[in-house]
Structure 1
Amino acid sequence: MSQITTITFFRYKSFSKKVWAFGMMQFAHAKLANIKGLTLYKLMGSGKDGFNPLPDWSVYALIQIWDNEDAASKFFKNSQLIKRYKAKSNEYFTLYLKNIKSHGEWSGKNPFKKSDSLKDENPFVAVITRATIKKRLLIKFWRYVPTSQKPLSNNKGLIYTKGIGEVPFLQMATFSVWRDKESLMRFAYGSAEHKKAVTDTKRIKWYSEELFSRFQPYKSEGKWSGIEALPF
């Protein structure tokens, strides 16, 4: 499939720019609703470092799913909306992704289609996990998060990670970039803390909806501390 996904991060430093970015979580919808070749988008805020559920008012994310790379390129080159975002932000970064594997649902469906143009010589892996947490389990869930994410500290295979979300505390997601599949698998299945988190997810049923999607990152634009070291 020619479908690609892009994720763009924006960082804002001044109070006025943070207020503008927060407002665009509502006002940008009209500009994003009818873009040619854009099949789905998600405007997202972010959490503080360490998957803290408290909002990070300085960082926002935009996830977009495109029919093809040409449609994405035209948007990032010509869109007045994205030009405003870039002009207001102190730092921005877009990563282009091809889907490797995806399961689960996001807003009632799985929007990601597996790519047929993956490159064996590209070892890097990006992951998006997304879930809607059941309201009655919110406190219990967030109390356990620091333990489940502990193996990420000083993980040499992890290049970058950030907690993002549509609704604070309730609809949360994670984005991460890994050096290779092996590094990701060691975290997912090699750490006792994360294996327990997987088991508890099945036993307690934290989520009313969840999705896991793995991608091959292959192109980037802009700069972002930690990710721009990628060879492309």
Structure 2
Amino acid sequence: MTQMALARGPLRRTPGIGFHKLCGAGVGHGFSPTLNPDTIAILATWNDEATAREQTRTAPVFARYADRASEDYTVLLRTTSARGAWSGVAPFTTGPATDGPLAALTRATIKPSVLRRFWGRVPRLDDLIGGDPNVTFKIGIGEIPMLHQVTFSVWPSLDSMNAFARTGPHAEAIRAVRQEGWFSEELYARFTVLSDRGTWGGTAPLNLKGSL
């Protein structure tokens, strides 16, 4: 918790960093109203790939997290599509897609009036995505517990991602979001996964040839 409190200023002062967010994580597959104090996530945008690689390895705030962690994992992404806003801004600049694994990010501010209905659906969806044989990596994070939530997942292909998103309980939840207006702000983005570094749960989830 001290790391969370002390990192915001150094993050803002990191040379080359653009839009960035410091988030906590939930228990289980990561998407839960119950906080997991052992896991912290940093999302950051950079003007170019070289800066992203260098700063996520050597900038003091990132190096301090890595030094104090029992395990750390970093994924380098290129945005291929994005719609919506995060804290009132469009944070991602889109570029061309390339072959390889894909990542999806969903971020939403949940209206307090629908919190019970929203969290009533989440455990079922969380179990489904966590048990999907196609999902390579998945975590749920958030800026404010219960209200500001983010899901991040990595898939081997666009077909496998779409198969989950457009069928079953997930598709039903998306319809409810649209029909009942659950979110006061939302953002949906997709990315090409360029490379990764480190481990998660003792393994390298993506087994990519490239390295950060």
Question: What is the alpha-carbon distance in structure 1 between the residues aligned to residue 168 and residue 57 of structure 2?
Answer: 45
Aligned partner of 1:131: which letter? Answer: A
Does the 8 Å CA contact 2:130/2:138 hold for their aligned counterparts?
Answer: no
Residue in structure 2 matched with residue 105 of structure 1 by the alignment:
85
1:30 aligns to 2:9 (yes or no):
yes
Superposition deviation, residue 231 in structure 1: 1.9
Judge conservation of contact 1:149–1:193 (CA < 8 Å) in 2: no
2:26 to 47, 57, 71: 47
- Matched length: 207
2:191 matched to 1:215?
A: yes
1:126 & 1:182 partners in 2: Cα distance?
12
Shift of residue 62, structure 1, vs aligned partner: 0.4
Amino acid at match of 1:222: G
CA distance in 2, matches of 1:94, 1:185: 24
Q: Secondary structure at the match of 1:28?
A: helix
**Partners of 2:58 and 2:113 in 1: CA distance:** 45
Q: Deviations over 1:133-154 (max 9, x none)?
A: 0011111210121233443243
Percent pairwise identity: 30
Answer yes or no: is 1:184 the counterpart of 2:184. no
Partners of 2:204 and 2:103 in 1: how far apart?
11
Partner of 1:168: 145
Deviation of 1:84 (Å): 1.4
SS in 1 for 2:123: helix
Q: Structure 2 vs 1, CA of residues 139 and 38 (structure 1 numbering), >3 Å: closer, same or farther? A: same
Q: Give me the CA root mean square deviation.
A: 1.6
Match of 1:126 in 2: 103
Residue 155 (str. 1) matches residue 132 (str. 2): yes
Paired AA for residue 170 in structure 1: L
SS of the equivalent of 2:86 reads coil
Match of 2:179? 203
CA distance in 2, matches of 1:193, 1:24: 36
Q: TM-score, normalised by structure 2?
A: 0.91
Q: Distance in 1 between matches of 2:88 and 2:151?
A: 19
> Are the structure 2 counterparts of residues 82 and 149 from structure 1 closer, same or farther at C-alpha, using a change threshold of 3 Å?
closer
For residue 107 of structure 1, give the secondary structure of its aligned residue in structure 2: coil
- TM-score using structure 1 length: 0.84
CA contact (8 A) 1:101 1:213 kept: yes
